[in-house]
């Protein structure tokens, strides 16, 4: 399949799935490869024939949607964000918890892939925050629409490439190495749970103190869906809590109750009476 043909096909199909082409421009190779495989499996000669299949069978759209899920992630992705979470955001949340009668900082990682983001937070908590707040615990929920991702997150075993950005001193302290495989130490799974969930249809109850919604909703979903999902996240993030998005993403324009921390894709939600 020629790139030009696949681009034309995606520009036609993605909006029909509530997805946006600009988000896929750079990662289209992955999607095109999967679509090409599907064509061969169905014995189709070209994308026009595949459009006919889509027109005749609505279930094929569900299949196409699965081809559009991009699984890329790694530990400590966007180092500046994690540094700021460790230096400022998590300590602030831990310090505020007792005033609310709580001993827990609650976090949600949306589109958690194989758990890289959730466990990055967990490692950060143990290494940098917990010593100063011994009475406070962290709970982290990771949700993803792909069952294979959830299974990998629960297994918590990674290749070296997934860890390349994690500070090396923590790599030693957080993983047991077995040849090329790095197994997360069992203690670091405490407080971390994963759940199969499609963010378009379902959300956990909350409330959360920190929500990470990176490199999914605000990259791949079309604008109307972005705003709808943001509304649902907003109802689950407590006032004064933090929302983190991807470093190349921006929030929809009608998000006035969120203020960025200087230059970072980390937003604090206005507390009652602020600003
Ligand atoms: C590009 S990865 C981002 C992983 C991580 N948040 C990060 O920034 O490194 C996107 C993840 O979102 C998941 N995903 C795709 N569509 C989803 C949906 N509708 N609901 C929940 N997760 C979804 C994919 O399976 C994939 O694991």
Residue 165's CATH number? 3.40.50.150
- Nearest atom in ligand 1 to the alpha carbon of residue 219 is 1
Summarize the confidence of residues 102-126 as an average pLDDT: 98
Residue 160 CA to residue 137 CA, distance in Å, equals 29
Average pLDDT of 103-116?
Answer: 98
Q: Is residue 72 part of a domain?
A: no
User: Which residue's structure tokens are 């949700």?
Assistant: 143
End of a domain among 23, 44, 67? Answer: 67
Instruction: Indicate whether 103 and 44 sit together in one domain.
Output: no
In a domain, 40, yes or no: yes
Q: Are residues 29 and 88 in the same domain?
A: no
- Domain containing 26 equals 3-67
Is pLDDT of 206 > 90? no
Whole-number Å distance between alpha carbons of 257 and 238: 12
- Domain-ending residue, one of 20, 36, 67: 67
| Domain shared by 46 and 98, yes or no | no
Averaged pLDDT, 153-162: 97
Answer yes or no: is pLDDT of 13 > 80. yes
Closest listed residue to residue 221, CA positions, set 29, 21, 9: 21
Task: Measure the CA–CA gap between 28 and 69, rounded to whole angstroms.
Answer: 11
Using the mean position of ligand 1's atoms as its centre, give its distance from the Cα of residue 68 in Å: 10
Taking residues 168-186, report their average pLDDT: 95
Q: Using CA positions, which residue lies closest to atom 13 of ligand 1?
A: 111
Structural domain includes residue 231: yes
Domain annotation covers residue 274? no
Same domain membership, residue 194 and residue 102? yes
Rg (CA), the chain: 20
Residue 210 falls within a domain, yes or no? yes
153 and 175 both lie in a single domain: yes
Residue 216, in any domain of the structure: yes
- Mean pLDDT over all residues of the chain? 95
State pTM to two decimals: 0.95
Contacts of residue 77, defined as CB under 8 A and 6 or more positions apart, other chains included, come to 116, 117, 120, 165, 214, 215
Mean pLDDT of 47-68: 97
Of all protein residues, the one whose alpha carbon is nearest to atom 11 of ligand 1 is 111
Ligand 1 atom closest to the Cα of residue 113 is 27
Distance 133 CA to ligand 1 centre (A): 31
Among left, alpha and beta (phi > 0; psi -120 to 50; other), residue 36 is: alpha
Do residues 51 and 150 both lie within one domain?
no
Residue 205 within a domain: yes
Give how many domains the chain has, as a whole number. 2
Name residue 159's beta-bridge partners. Answer: 181
177 and 251 both lie in a single domain:
yes
Q: How crowded is residue 26: how many other Cβ atoms within 10 Å of its Cβ?
A: 11
And the tokens for 32?
A: 């095109």
């Amino acid at each position: 399949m020629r790139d030009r043909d696949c681009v034309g096909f995606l520009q036609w199909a993605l909006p029909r799935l509530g997805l946006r082409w600009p988000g896929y421009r750079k990662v289209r190779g992955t999607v095109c490869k999967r679509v090409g495989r599907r064509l061969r499996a169905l014995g189709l000669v070209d994308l026009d024939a595949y459009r006919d299949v889509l027109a005749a069978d609505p279930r094929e759209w569900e299949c196409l949607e699965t081809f559009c899920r991009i699984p890329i992630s790694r530990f400590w992705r966007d180092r500046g964000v994690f540094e700021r979470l460790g230096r400022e955001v998590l300590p602030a949340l831990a310090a505020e918890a007792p005033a609310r009668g709580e001993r827990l900082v609650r976090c949600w990682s949306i589109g958690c892939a194989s758990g890289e983001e959730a466990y990055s937070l967990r490692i950060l908590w143990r290494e940098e925050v917990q010593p100063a707040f011994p009475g406070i615990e962290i709970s982290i929920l990771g949700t993803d629409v792909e069952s294979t991702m959830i299974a990998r997150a629960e297994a918590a075993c990674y290749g070296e490439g997934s860890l390349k950005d994690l500070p090396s001193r923590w790599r030693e302290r957080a993983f047991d190495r077995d040849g090329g495989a790095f197994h997360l130490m069992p203690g670091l799974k405490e407080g971390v749970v994963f759940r199969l969930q499609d963010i378009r249809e379902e959300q956990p109850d909350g409330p959360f103190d920190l929500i990470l919604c990176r490199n999914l909703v605000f990259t791949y979903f079309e604008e109307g869906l972005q705003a709808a999902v943001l509304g649902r996240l907003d109802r689950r993030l407590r006032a004064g809590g933090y929302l983190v998005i991807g470093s190349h993403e921006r929030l929809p324009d009608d998000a006035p109750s969120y203020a960025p921390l200087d230059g970072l894709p980390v937003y604090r939600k206005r507390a009652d009476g602020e600003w």
